[in-house]
Structure 1
Amino acid sequence: MFDGFDPVFLARLQFAFTVSFHFIFPAFTIGLASYLAVLEGLWLWTGRSVYIDLFRYWLKIFALTFAMGVVSGIVLTYQFGTNWSVFSDRTGAVIGPLLAYEVLTAFFLEAGFLGVMLFGMKRVGKGLHFFATLAVAVGTLFSAFWILAANSWMQTPAGHLTNEVGQFVPGDWWEVIFNPSFPYRLVHTVLGAYLTTALVVGAVGAWHLLRDRTNQGSRVMFAMAMGMIVVTAPIQILAGDFHGLNTLEHQPVKIMGMEGHFQSHPEGAPLYLFGLPDQEAATVHYPIAVPRLGSLILRHSLNAPMDGLETVSRDEWPPVPVIFWSFRIMVGLGLLMFALGLWSLIAYLRGQLFDTQALHWFATLMGPAGFVAVIAGWVTTEVGRQPYTVYGLLRTAESASPLAAPAVGSSLIAFIVVYFAVFSVGTWYILRLMSHAPAPAEPALEQGAAPIRTAGITPAPAVDPSRTLGEQTEGA
């Protein structure tokens, strides 16, 4: 069936499919874990039951999302050995310890405290439960830290040596971890996760406000989400600018492809807003461009010269049409997020945050935008690194396992079928949980909430002292 296909291309396609599916879940859980910690902290501080109700509402969703993220992530580690064994052999001494550090920090924190967070509110003290929630939130950030350190080293390798058989070995761990692109990538990715979560929470709140503007939980979650977007969206734009300048310094060919600069511009490069990049003809057809704006953004000078792909051998070019459009999708959605935050701020200052239906519809439609933006960003990052797995040092074609195309293709088909069957059901169930508005006395997982009943588990009954405290101090 797959005779005649390039096995390396199929291996890349398989990893792209599985990693894109996987990254949807961490992009949500990183922000949602922190949001849960904020909700529980506000409940302990103010005693308002609306915060603990929202905590319980989103905790069920977090539990399912976290589980799907773990399951989908396990597959990726196996692919290093099956489809990318040469890459594993050449880079294992560097990449392996970084992934192990993730296990020793992030997974230990999450595994040690997740059970307490999910089921322990009635069984441990409030302080210990809050500590467990904080530990899980910190664990998700540690996970992002180590994964991004490994990925950033592949983008801007530093601190390594090469032994006599061509393997990369660590020379200076500080330089390996804090390689040139790591700080920018970490900030950009974590902010993206927070924006993704804020957009989902805001969309759920807006959806229920369209049906009942008086629902206290919907009002609180919508206000908190819009506040997060107001603060985070402009910071993300600034962080993206710094990240772009860093990429221009260390991966200039990627920037040339993203911008569609096939030719050099000695007296200021235009910014192509839209167009049809033609890699074979080395041109952008039907361009809509702003003269010199590309130089202003990338060099902060209207007349700054910019090199084009013509200065680089064609076998060093990334797939330009892919990253040209993925980059614009990411930036376009980022501008819409900024617009949503600005609109919500104006509505808040006018006292109309909960009464503007058009804003609520816009927020609802923007719910999936964070997921699309982070996937588009990763496509830009990873495809733009081609034709290398370790930028400038190890080519993708040299990294793959010696497998025939039918073997890789058949496993790709199997992954597609299984992933859509399993994760579609999980996603449908999460949407079902989101479809009901948060209510007073929101049931906790310990009380046999839907995800636990579905699994056939009936937790032991216990007294919940927190409910009495929350109800007595409502409105404090």
Structure 2
Amino acid sequence: MLADHLPSALDLARSQFAFTVVWHFLFPAFTIGLASYLAVLEAFWLATGRDVYLDTYRYWLKIFAVAFAMGVVSGLVMSYQFGTNWSVFSDKAAPVLGPLLGYEVLTAFFLEAGFLGVMLFGLERVGRRLHFLATALVAGGTLLSAFWILSANSWMQTPAGHVLDADGRFVPESWWAVIFNPSFPYRFAHTVTAAYLTTAMIVGAVGAWHLLRDRFNPRARLMFSMAMWMAAFVAPVQLVLGDLHGGNTYHHQPAKVAAMEGHFESERRAPSILFGWPDAESGSTKWQVGIPGLASLYLAHDLDAEVTGLKALPRDTWPTNLPLVFWAFRVMVGLGLLMIGLGLWSLYLRWKDRLYETPWLHRFAVAMGPSGLVAVTAGWVVTEAGRQPFTVYGLLRTADSLSPVAAPAVATSLAAFAVVYFAVFGAGIWYLMHLFNQAPRPHEPGPPVGQPVRTAGITPAPALAADPRPMPAE
């Protein structure tokens, strides 16, 4: 009887992949936006010559180096599971996913690797414009990496441009259709914007934390101001992108959207269920509290439209864990609305010229610091748990994608991953918190470098020559 309650190899393999992907996703979600933020800071420094931009750049450059390194390490570990736990999936999807991931390495990863060293350690060794080019190329590399990874993931959600060969393998027929599959444009825009908001929330929280200590610190003012501009204007844009993405998902993955909304019955003027508990056994959402007609309005843009419920779809296509999909979606949307609220509040106080003199705003910004990371994790849970029970939606089931491995072997590796991840990445996150806690200061030191090379007749590049203009108060 005990064996009936033990998790299967499939359950453990899914848990292991979810565990490692959640850890990995936290770091790229931060570094994608941070790389672009660093490029903007350096561009402003070159354009204005103001040291406040350089100090802020060097403050966040150290943080970027740590977060980027942890993202690379966690990504390498995650990728090995395709061969160990999901070999059937790897075999069948390799003709499509193999080239896409290969393009990511050959373009984005090599671009980042080629210029990361110049970005981190070259400010005193190369010219200003060359260093800015390196920063911009690293930022572009992170976006290019997101392009290929999200194209591969989107193909698994909305497969297109392929044919099945005699062995059941997915063989590309049109690479254009594979890469730009039906959900990719929406998913790419929504995810990259989420990464920018994630970075804005962290930068804004750090700036607010130091404003609570010293509201006249110009570097803290700068990072807080830039983060609040992002929250004020990009968070509402993300709401629109999310609506477009939701409409696309409703068209291609109706079971996922029905699970997100908690709808079992197909009905006109479908309510938007704010709270409740979807119960697959009873075929209803218990204790629901909703707004009549709102789901029809934002899903079909028609108050009288009929919204498809789970009961109209085959039972074996329902997402495996309905409450997880339902509540993860609400966490994501709720945090997004709080980001919009933070941005609008900051915009009002900026208009009143009290952006830096309102401690309650700063405390709210500090509390919202991890909100982007939680929101992107919740969004990933909605995307991946909502795709179940398929790895390639509608074509390849998760149960048929598993390697022939025994449950004890997967349980052992999962336990080992948990111990190592919490130790290594726990220490890394602790060090990031230590860096966040250090107040940004004038002539901020960057990542440690060796002594600059000096050759007879050659002097170091004047990249860090003292600016004769006084540092502005703001």
TM-score normalised by the chain length of structure 1: 0.96
**C-alpha distance in structure 1 between counterparts of 2:83 and 2:197, whole Å:** 34
In structure 1, the partner of 2:310 is 309
**C-alpha distance in structure 1 between counterparts of 2:461 and 2:413, whole Å:** 48
**C-alpha distance in structure 1 between counterparts of 2:193 and 2:429, whole Å:** 23
In structure 1, the partner of 2:59 is 57
**C-alpha distance in structure 1 between counterparts of 2:368 and 2:306, whole Å:** 37
CA-to-aligned-CA distance 1:44-71 (integer Å, 9 cap, x gap): 0000000000110000000000000000
2:239 aligned to 231, 237, 240, which one?
237
CA contact (8 A) 2:125 2:452 kept: no
Q: How does 1:11-26 map to 2 (within 5 A)?
A: 11-26=13-28
**C-alpha distance in structure 1 between counterparts of 2:294 and 2:436, whole Å:** 43
In structure 1, the partner of 2:462 is 465
Residue 312 of structure 1, CA deviation = 1.6
* Equivalent position amino acid for 2:465 in 1: T
Secondary structure of 1:331's aligned partner: helix
* Equivalent position amino acid for 2:72 in 1: V
**C-alpha distance in structure 1 between counterparts of 2:131 and 2:471, whole Å:** 21
Matched, 1:164 2:166: yes
**C-alpha distance in structure 2 between counterparts of 1:218 and 1:352, whole Å:** 15
Secondary structure of 2:465's aligned partner: helix
CA contact (8 A) 2:127 2:461 kept: no
**C-alpha distance in structure 2 between counterparts of 1:364 and 1:102, whole Å:** 35
**Alpha carbon RMSD of aligned pairs, Å?**
1.5
**C-alpha distance in structure 1 between counterparts of 2:302 and 2:127, whole Å:** 58
* Equivalent position amino acid for 2:395 in 1: L
- The percent of aligned pairs where both chains have the same amino acid is 62
* Equivalent position amino acid for 1:285 in 2: K
* Equivalent position amino acid for 2:419 in 1: V
Q: 1:293 to 1:124 in 2, by over 3 A?
A: same
Matched, 1:89 2:86: no
In structure 1, the partner of 2:193 is 191
Q: 1:394 to 1:459 in 2, by over 3 A?
A: farther
Secondary structure of 1:445's aligned partner: coil
Residue 466 of structure 1, CA deviation = 3.1
In structure 1, the partner of 2:290 is 289
CA contact (8 A) 2:124 2:464 kept: no
In structure 2, the partner of 1:416 is 418
Matched, 1:268 2:269: yes
Residue 459 of structure 1, CA deviation = 5.0
Q: How does 1:137-286 map to 2 (within 5 A)?
A: 137-265=139-267, 267-286=268-287
CA contact (8 A) 1:446 1:461 kept: no
In structure 2, the partner of 1:299 is 300
Matched, 1:362 2:364: yes
**C-alpha distance in structure 2 between counterparts of 1:92 and 1:78, whole Å:** 14
**C-alpha distance in structure 2 between counterparts of 1:93 and 1:469, whole Å:** 55
In structure 1, the partner of 2:457 is none
CA contact (8 A) 1:49 1:471 kept: no
**C-alpha distance in structure 2 between counterparts of 1:275 and 1:330, whole Å:** 16
Secondary structure of 2:307's aligned partner: coil
**C-alpha distance in structure 1 between counterparts of 2:251 and 2:317, whole Å:** 17
**C-alpha distance in structure 1 between counterparts of 2:172 and 2:10, whole Å:** 27
Secondary structure of 2:306's aligned partner: coil
CA contact (8 A) 1:210 1:357 kept: yes
Secondary structure of 2:276's aligned partner: strand
Q: 1:279 to 1:367 in 2, by over 3 A?
A: same
Secondary structure of 2:467's aligned partner: helix
CA contact (8 A) 1:269 1:305 kept: yes
**C-alpha distance in structure 2 between counterparts of 1:215 and 1:279, whole Å:** 55
Matched, 1:116 2:113: no
2:35 aligned to 33, 36, 47, which one?
33
User: Mean alpha-carbon deviation: is it higher for 217-226 or for 310-319?
Assistant: 310-319
CA-to-aligned-CA distance 1:204-248 (integer Å, 9 cap, x gap): 000000010010100000000000111110110000000000001
* Equivalent position amino acid for 2:297 in 1: L
Secondary structure of 1:470's aligned partner: coil
CA contact (8 A) 1:262 1:282 kept: yes
* Equivalent position amino acid for 1:156 in 2: T
CA contact (8 A) 1:293 1:302 kept: yes
CA contact (8 A) 2:35 2:142 kept: yes
CA contact (8 A) 1:201 1:222 kept: yes
**C-alpha distance in structure 2 between counterparts of 1:154 and 1:444, whole Å:** 41
Residue 282 of structure 1, CA deviation = 1.1
CA contact (8 A) 1:213 1:354 kept: yes
**C-alpha distance in structure 2 between counterparts of 1:436 and 1:284, whole Å:** 48
CA contact (8 A) 2:126 2:461 kept: no
* Equivalent position amino acid for 1:166 in 2: G
Stretches of structure 2 lacking an aligned partner (at least 5 in a row): 455-459
Secondary structure of 1:389's aligned partner: strand
CA-to-aligned-CA distance 1:96-141 (integer Å, 9 cap, x gap): 0000000111111101100000000111111100000000000000
In structure 2, the partner of 1:451 is none
* Equivalent position amino acid for 1:428 in 2: W
CA-to-aligned-CA distance 1:163-196 (integer Å, 9 cap, x gap): 1111001000000000000000000000000000
CA contact (8 A) 1:2 1:409 kept: no
* Equivalent position amino acid for 1:468 in 2: A
* Equivalent position amino acid for 1:68 in 2: M
Residue 302 of structure 1, CA deviation = 1.4
Residue 6 of structure 1, CA deviation = 1.1
Secondary structure of 2:273's aligned partner: strand
Secondary structure of 1:158's aligned partner: coil
Secondary structure of 1:123's aligned partner: coil
Q: 1:445 to 1:256 in 2, by over 3 A?
A: same
CA contact (8 A) 1:64 1:430 kept: yes
Secondary structure of 2:120's aligned partner: helix
CA contact (8 A) 1:48 1:471 kept: no
Q: How does 1:402-441 map to 2 (within 5 A)?
A: 402-441=404-443
**C-alpha distance in structure 1 between counterparts of 2:461 and 2:225, whole Å:** 28
User: Mean alpha-carbon deviation: is it higher for 63-72 or for 462-471?
Assistant: 462-471
* Equivalent position amino acid for 2:311 in 1: E
Residue 83 of structure 1, CA deviation = 0.2
Residue 283 of structure 1, CA deviation = 0.8
